[in-house]
Structure 1
Amino acid sequence: MLFDLSKVTTHQTYNLLIGLVAPRPIAWITSMDLAGRINAAPFSAYNYVGIDPPIVAVGVGNRPGPGVVGKDTAQNIRNTREFVINVVNETLAQAMVTCAVDFPPGVNELEIAGLKTVPSSVVSVPRIMEAPASLECREITTMEIGNSRVILGQVVAIHVKDEFIDPAGPYVRAEELHAIGRMNGLGAYVRTRDSFFHVPRMTYAEWVAANQRRE
């Protein structure tokens, strides 16, 4: 079935994209307004897009309704130029969903979810204490495209709980961290517990040798 996106509604486009661009990592973002009040909200239009320097991208839609009004997270990042991305694992799934509730501006979602914050190392925005890992970020730019905003941030510090780090790399013990991902539809998520599989990468020489053996 072909969908010409110039002929379907925005909602239909959304339904298709979230069903196909999946699973998606979840950026549980803590940000701070100019009065110092903390906001926490999850976004699944998120990924890293560079490593030198380390860059992450987050898509944040505007608030529904008339006019162009950015969500609290987008406005806070624009005003302070700082934010923290907290990793979500199975243990924190329900708390993350609580923070997705559209509370009025100024409400501290983390207090309602029963979570605590701790100071970050580089940025002024705190991170979630219970999160298995957190990425401290500074905004590089925010691009407004239609009714969406794409926020590019440079990662300036990374926190990972000791039990999830193999110091030999250092490597993240992702099989033990049990991060969750976002799928299509409201309330649809995916676990990573016991779901890892490995397909070795090959060099060109290895590929040639493997195919010669098949001939």
Structure 2
Amino acid sequence: MEFPVETLAHRQIYNLLIGLVAPRPIALVTSADTDGSLNAAPFSAFNYLCTDPPVVALGVTNRPDASFVPKDTARNIRRTHEFVVNIVTEDIAEAMNVCATDFPAGVNELEMAGLTTTPSSVVSVPRIAQAHAALECREHSTIEIGNSRIILGRVVSMFVEDRFVDPTGPYIKSEELHAIGRMNGLGMYVRTRDAFLKMDRIPYAEWQRRQAK
């Protein structure tokens, strides 16, 4: 089937894109309003973009019931310029899903999900205590595109529990961390447990040797 984007409704485009650009890492973002009230929300429009400087990106759409009204996460980041990306693993997946619930204003998603916080090292926004890894970020810039915002965050500190770090790199023991990924819009996720495929990059000289056989 062909899907000319110009003829599709936004929801149709969304359904197709999130099913094709998958699996996607999930950022469970903690942010705070200027009065200190905390918010936690998951985003799978998330990835790192560069390492020098280290920058991650979040795609945050506006609220569906009003044009150009930002969600709490985007509003908080715009006001305080800080946020924390908490890495979602199997053991906090259910809590992450609770945080995605559209609770009424004033409801603390962290409390509803049974999650607690602990102070971050650099930014004022706390990280989630149950998360095994987290990226502390300061807003680099926010780009408004249509009814969405792309938030670029400069990573200023990283937290990873010792047991998930190979100090020789240091490397992350991804095969033990058990992060999960988001698939389509039908509530489908993917585990990384027992699913790793190791494929080392081929040096050019080795590639030439293989071709000569």
| Equivalent residue, structure 2, for 1:125 | 125
| Equivalent residue, structure 1, for 2:173 | 173
Deviations 1:162-186 (A, max 9, x none): 1111111111000000000000023
Deviation at 1:150?
0.3
| Equivalent residue, structure 2, for 1:23 | 23
The answer to whether the 8 Å contact 2:88/2:179 transfers is yes
| Equivalent residue, structure 1, for 2:94 | 94
Distance of 1:120 and 1:54 partners within structure 2: 18
Letter in 2 for 1:190: V
The answer to whether the 8 Å contact 2:67/2:147 transfers is no
Distance of 1:43 and 1:101 partners within structure 2: 12
| Equivalent residue, structure 1, for 2:149 | 149
| Equivalent residue, structure 2, for 1:41 | 41
SS in 2 for 1:30: strand
Deviation at 1:104?
2.2
| Equivalent residue, structure 1, for 2:79 | 79
Question: Tell me, which stretches of 5 or more residues in structure 2 are unaligned?
Answer: none
TM-score (norm 1): 0.97
Distance of 2:15 and 2:115 partners within structure 1: 32
In the alignment, does 2:68 pair up with 1:68?
yes
| Equivalent residue, structure 1, for 2:191 | 191
| Equivalent residue, structure 1, for 2:107 | 107
The answer to whether the 8 Å contact 1:31/1:77 transfers is yes
The answer to whether the 8 Å contact 1:31/1:125 transfers is yes
SS in 1 for 2:198: coil
Letter in 2 for 1:63: R
Deviation at 1:86?
0.1
The alignment-based identity, stated in percent, is 63
SS in 1 for 2:5: coil
| Shift >3 Å, 4+ stretches | none
SS in 2 for 1:6: helix
Deviation at 1:95?
0.3
Distance of 2:86 and 2:66 partners within structure 1: 31
Distance of 1:196 and 1:60 partners within structure 2: 30
Distance of 2:22 and 2:58 partners within structure 1: 15
Distance of 1:105 and 1:75 partners within structure 2: 14
Deviation at 1:111?
1.1
Deviation at 1:67?
2.8
| Equivalent residue, structure 2, for 1:201 | 201
Deviation at 1:13?
0.6
SS in 2 for 1:186: coil
Aligned residues: 213
Question: Tell me, which stretches of 5 or more residues in structure 1 are unaligned?
Answer: none
Root-mean-square deviation (CA), in Å? 0.8
Letter in 1 for 2:125: V
Deviation at 1:195?
0.1
